[in-house]
Structure 1
Amino acid sequence: MSKVMTGATMSIDGYISGPNESGFDHLFRWYGNGDVETPTAMPGMTLRTSKASAEHLRELNERTGALVVGRHLYDATNGWGGRHPMDVPVVVLTHRPPTDRPVADENFVFVTEGIEAAVATARELAGDSWVVVNGGTIARQCLEAGLLDEIHVDLAPVLLGSGTPFFSELATVPVELVGPTRVVEGIGVTHLRYEVVR
């Protein structure tokens, strides 16, 4: 069965975006501060990171078979122009599927039955590869449902003060983690991996 993990670039004080969805220029500076190119499935979008971060991204891309995101992210990115930059199928958890496109195609599947159904659909699509769930509300729902195996953090050296936390309003705390089981030091970012204790 595929592993379910979540990952996000996060500030030192725990935010994946700043107030009013700001701060991305600080959080994602590591995507362009190196000399190793990592192409994406989006035309014109090539990341330029340190060698260590490029190897980290390559492994993540090779192991990921499907994504689970919320409708807010899907709308905010305009559906990534029809294909996610990782070039894998995306399961969109939503209360209201869009009316201007099919409920399922090779790029996107819209699920309305809850987080368990969304992860089950993503597992079918991923096969033995990882299912990666978006940070924030989707990650919290997965954690509370006992579906999450790992948490990956790309820790950026910035304090945002407030905004959207990686995890918020957890129903049961504390949540124990094992690790970090892996630490990769890039330029302007430290990549950390933790296992969720069940």
Structure 2
Amino acid sequence: MARTIIHATMTLDGYIAESDGGVDWMFGRPSAPEDDAVVQKVIARIGAVVGGANATQTIEDGEIPYGGMLKVPVFLMTRTEHAPIERDGITYTFVVDDIAQAVAAAERAAGEGWVSLLGGSIARQCLRLGLVDELHLDVAPVLLGEGIPLFAGLGRRIELERLETSAYASETHLRYRVLR
């Protein structure tokens, strides 16, 4: 059975991107093989992705989940119907206004793999609906002061159980189970 996770790199003050969507702060930091191994372990288990579609419902180079490293089905939330798009061996399916339907479809596509939820809004919606099994957070040692938050505005308390913690050269890696 698929497991649905929030997998995100975030700043210590809780942001996943700058206010304009920029993520330059993620790159150019010292790294250790152990940091890469933690992230690769998660990526190897991902069998599908759920994220948000852009306004034009196209797939731009900077919007490809995991930089195109994963060749798994991607389900994108949208407000209007759109035919699936195939690009570089990845099928992008657009789901209109029903995040639970998108997650269910992604779980079917992932099989025994994991469904990765991308983006703050998607993550918060799925947490509110009880659709998230685990959080996998890679915390970078930087404070942006403002930007796009991962959890701000969640609007409810959610208890977590710590499963794993590690820290190496560039990030602190946190893994939590969502308690129901």
TM more than 0.5 = yes
Question: What's the CA shift for 1:164?
Answer: 0.7
State the SS of the aligned residue for 1:109.
Answer: strand
Question: Where in structure 2 are the equivalents of 1:13-28 lying within 5 Å?
Answer: 13-22=13-22, 24-28=23-27
Matched, 1:92 2:91: no
Name the counterpart of 2:178: 196
How many pairs does the alignment contain?
Answer: 174
8 Å contact from structure 2 (residues 16, 148) kept in 1: yes
- Structure 1 unmatched runs, 5+: 35-49
Does the CA contact (< 8 Å) of 1:97 and 1:103 recur in 2? no
Between the aligned partners of 1:113 and 1:12, the Cα distance in structure 2 is 31
The alpha-carbon deviation at position 171 of structure 1 amounts to 3.0
- Percent same amino acid among aligned pairs? 36
The amino acid of 1:13's aligned partner reads D
Q: Distance in 1 between matches of 2:14 and 2:97?
A: 30
Partner secondary structure for residue 117 of structure 1: helix
Mark the CA change 1:96 to 1:29 in structure 2 (over 3 Å): closer, same or farther. Answer: farther
Residue 57 of structure 1, CA deviation: 2.3
Whether 1:58 aligns to 2:40 is yes
Q: Displacement of 1:118 after TM fit? A: 0.2
Kindly tell me: are residues 76 and 58 of structure 1, through their superposed partners in 2, closer, same or farther at Cα, counting changes over 3 Å? Answer: same
Q: Contact 2:6–2:117 (CA<8 Å) still a contact in 1?
A: yes
TM-score by length of 2: 0.86
Distance 1:114 1:193, change over 3 A: same
CA RMSD in angstroms comes to 2.3
Counterpart position of 2:84: 103
Mapped to 1, the partners of 2:159 and 2:27 lie a distance apart of 27
User: Which of 93, 108, 123 is 1:139 aligned to?
Assistant: 123
Letter in 1 for 2:176: Y
- Where does residue 28 of structure 2 map in the other structure? 29
1:175 aligns with 158
Q: What's the offset of the Cα at 1:184? A: 2.5
Structure 2 Cα separation of the partners of residues 29 and 56 of structure 1: 18
- What is the Cα deviation at residue 75 of structure 1? 5.2
Amino acid at match of 1:25: D
* Contact 2:137-2:174 within 8 A present in 1 as well: yes
String of CA shifts for 1:101-159, please: whole Å, max 9, x gaps: x3265521111141110001101110011011113000011001110011111100001
Q: CA deviation at 1:97?
A: 4.1
User: By how many angstroms is 1:196 displaced?
Assistant: 0.9
TM, length-normalised to structure 1: 0.79
What is the alpha-carbon distance in structure 2 between the residues aligned to residue 94 and residue 141 of structure 1? Answer: 14
